[in-house]
Chain A
């Protein structure tokens, strides 16, 4: 299985007919079991790209192709959103089985699968809670479990930890790294945080400011499993600096534009 992001461009046209070019000729592939991180300054169209891959937005040109899929079970992708997007009227368990209901699985199958992912993300004992009773970190665990339970070929994550506090965020990065190793699925992770990108990714796609273009694709050659010791290693810091050099000027421009 391989996902090809095939020369995607996106131009928004507003009501006055004014055009904003968000993405320009984005082209890269995501291999099977690969963890790809897209990193870029704010306003580089990262979320636009993710929505296009998830089938929630049409590109102006180009296409997203799933190659060599062994099954035709849809949907191919599942999304973990920045703001969790949990259904407030559903308990943790009911949120997690949402996609399974849509697939027409019976109750026993649903709860067997839900069980598995509830333990994987560490939500045991929270099954009957409503989202509003959970902390941000726990909510995002539910969202991850809900997405994974649907057994997607590609898991899409849109800055999933940026609504969390810094400490929770760090812990969730460790957790996510472990979960990826357990599931052996393809992940596409979007962030503006360079450290996070290097810590999590097999490859990092660096996008420029609007219109978002691929500046570089960097292979992150760091050992797994990845844990907190990694973040003080020389090689890790070199990767972080290398990416920062690409993004620095663009980030300054973005800062000055936002008055």
Chain B
């Protein structure tokens, strides 16, 4: 017979420990290993340049200012496409979510066009809008529009009907319901759409610039590859990674500013 038995917490493994040093160590470790692989020429540097070499190349491009030309070209395309897509996405999403006629008209059109990979539309856009900026901005805008419009539509459909009733009972009309209840309700979904959208925008800007451009990160990567400038190519990839991290950080900050009621 067991005299006494102390009750154990069965859930202890659910409390995930944090290992900040492990994150740093593995990151550094991978780069050291990579550096070693390149230095020892286990893999030819032409295929896998060393991290230090890539950094030096990046520094040189920073000093000449060449890199900024490409970054700015890509960023302005992303920005235009993104702003256009978000404005239309929110407006269309609210219309089809809130009004029955736009819903009946818009839903099948969206359902039919959404599955087309947007990059496949680029040739058509170039045909329509020319080879310049407009077609690139348009393809980004199209790519960002869909996640945005679908998120906003879902958000509108999920607005707590009780809040709409409360607003109505306090004297709001339909226009004010949209502004004072629907809009703040869907803000979290708008931000979720923006986070999805920025990833798509990065993808599409690179793809569009690889098809036809004379500046931009996608153009830079493609020309570097053509000339076997692997270091320059790698710098392009690092810039894309940094841009992604930056936008994520930016949206998180903005979310905290615009949605203070959610901790």
A146 within 8 A of partner (CB): yes
Determine if B261 and A150 form an interchain contact, defined as CB atoms under 8 angstroms apart.
no
When distances are taken between beta carbons in the complex, the residues of chain A under 8 Å from B171 are 74-75, 99, 102-103, 150
A83 within 8 A of partner (CB): yes
Q: Choose from B169, B260, B263 the contact partner of A78 (Cβ within 8 Å).
A: B169
B237 within 8 A of partner (CB): no
B166 within 8 A of partner (CB): yes
What's the Cα separation between A195 and B154 when bound, in Å? 43
When distances are taken between beta carbons in the complex, the residues of chain A under 8 Å from B69 are none
Q: Choose from A83, A89, A99, A130 the contact partner of B170 (Cβ within 8 Å).
A: A99
A81 within 8 A of partner (CB): yes
When distances are taken between beta carbons in the complex, the residues of chain B under 8 Å from A87 are 163, 166-167, 180-181, 184
Determine if A89 and B261 form an interchain contact, defined as CB atoms under 8 angstroms apart.
yes
A122 within 8 A of partner (CB): no
A132 within 8 A of partner (CB): yes
Q: Choose from A56, A103, A131 the contact partner of B168 (Cβ within 8 Å).
A: A56
What's the Cα separation between A146 and B261 when bound, in Å? 19
When distances are taken between beta carbons in the complex, the residues of chain A under 8 Å from B184 are 87, 89
Q: Is the interface of B mostly helix, strand, loop or mixed?
A: helix
A146 to chain B, nearest CB (A): 7
What's the Cα separation between A87 and B180 when bound, in Å? 9
What's the Cα separation between A51 and B261 when bound, in Å? 29
What's the Cα separation between A126 and B112 when bound, in Å? 50
Q: Which residues from 100 to 158 on chain A have a C-beta closer than 8 Å to any C-beta of chain B?
A: 102-103, 130-132, 146-147, 150
What's the Cα separation between A79 and B163 when bound, in Å? 11
B165 within 8 A of partner (CB): yes
Q: Choose from A74, A79, A98, A150 the contact partner of B165 (Cβ within 8 Å).
A: A79
With A56-B169, A98-B167: A130-B260 Cβ-Cβ less than 8 Å: yes
Q: Which residues from 83 to 101 on chain B have a C-beta closer than 8 Å to any C-beta of chain A?
A: none
Determine if B169 and A79 form an interchain contact, defined as CB atoms under 8 angstroms apart.
yes
When distances are taken between beta carbons in the complex, the residues of chain B under 8 Å from A83 are 162
Query: Which B residue sits closest to A54, measured CB to CB?
Result: B169
What's the Cα separation between A74 and B169 when bound, in Å? 10
Q: In this complex, which of B170, B259, B261 has the most chain A Cβ atoms within 10 angstroms of its Cβ?
A: B170
Query: Which B residue sits closest to A101, measured CB to CB?
Result: B180
Determine if B169 and A75 form an interchain contact, defined as CB atoms under 8 angstroms apart.
yes
Query: Which B residue sits closest to A150, measured CB to CB?
Result: B170
When distances are taken between beta carbons in the complex, the residues of chain A under 8 Å from B166 are 79, 81, 85-87
Determine if B172 and A102 form an interchain contact, defined as CB atoms under 8 angstroms apart.
yes
B256 within 8 A of partner (CB): no
Q: Which residues from 59 to 104 on chain A have a C-beta closer than 8 Å to any C-beta of chain B?
A: 74-75, 77-79, 81, 83, 85-90, 98-99, 102-103
Q: Choose from B170, B180, B187 the contact partner of A75 (Cβ within 8 Å).
A: B170
When distances are taken between beta carbons in the complex, the residues of chain B under 8 Å from A81 are 162, 165-166
What's the Cα separation between A53 and B169 when bound, in Å? 11
A86 to chain B, nearest CB (A): 8
What's the Cα separation between A88 and B263 when bound, in Å? 12
Q: Choose from B163, B176, B187, B261 the contact partner of A132 (Cβ within 8 Å).
A: B261
When distances are taken between beta carbons in the complex, the residues of chain A under 8 Å from B167 are 87, 98
What's the Cα separation between A83 and B166 when bound, in Å? 11
Determine if A98 and B261 form an interchain contact, defined as CB atoms under 8 angstroms apart.
no
What's the Cα separation between A166 and B167 when bound, in Å? 29
What's the Cα separation between A132 and B259 when bound, in Å? 13
Q: Choose from A85, A99, A150 the contact partner of B163 (Cβ within 8 Å).
A: A85
What's the Cα separation between A79 and B162 when bound, in Å? 11
Q: Which residues from 246 to 263 on chain B have a C-beta closer than 8 Å to any C-beta of chain A?
A: 259-261, 263
B164 to chain A, nearest CB (A): 9
B130 to chain A, nearest CB (A): 44
Determine if A88 and B261 form an interchain contact, defined as CB atoms under 8 angstroms apart.
yes
When distances are taken between beta carbons in the complex, the residues of chain B under 8 Å from A103 are 171
When distances are taken between beta carbons in the complex, the residues of chain A under 8 Å from B261 are 88-90, 130-132
Q: Which residues from 107 to 150 on chain B have a C-beta closer than 8 Å to any C-beta of chain A?
A: none
What's the Cα separation between A86 and B168 when bound, in Å? 13
What's the Cα separation between A35 and B196 when bound, in Å? 53
B170 to chain A, nearest CB (A): 4
When distances are taken between beta carbons in the complex, the residues of chain B under 8 Å from A132 are 261, 263
- Can you list 9 pairs linking A and B with CB atoms under 8 Å apart? A55-B169, A75-B169, A75-B170, A79-B165, A85-B166, A87-B167, A87-B181, A102-B170, A130-B260
Known A-B contacts: A86-B166, A87-B181, A99-B171. Give 19 more (CB < 8 A): A51-B165, A56-B168, A56-B169, A74-B171, A77-B169, A78-B169, A79-B165, A85-B160, A85-B163, A85-B165, A85-B166, A87-B166, A87-B184, A89-B187, A98-B170, A98-B180, A102-B171, A146-B170, A150-B170
Smallest CB-CB A-B distances: 3 pairs = A99-B170, A85-B166, A102-B171
- Show the binding face of A for B, using Cβ within 8 Å: 51, 54-56, 74-75, 77-79, 81, 83, 85-90, 98-99, 102-103, 130-132, 146-147, 150
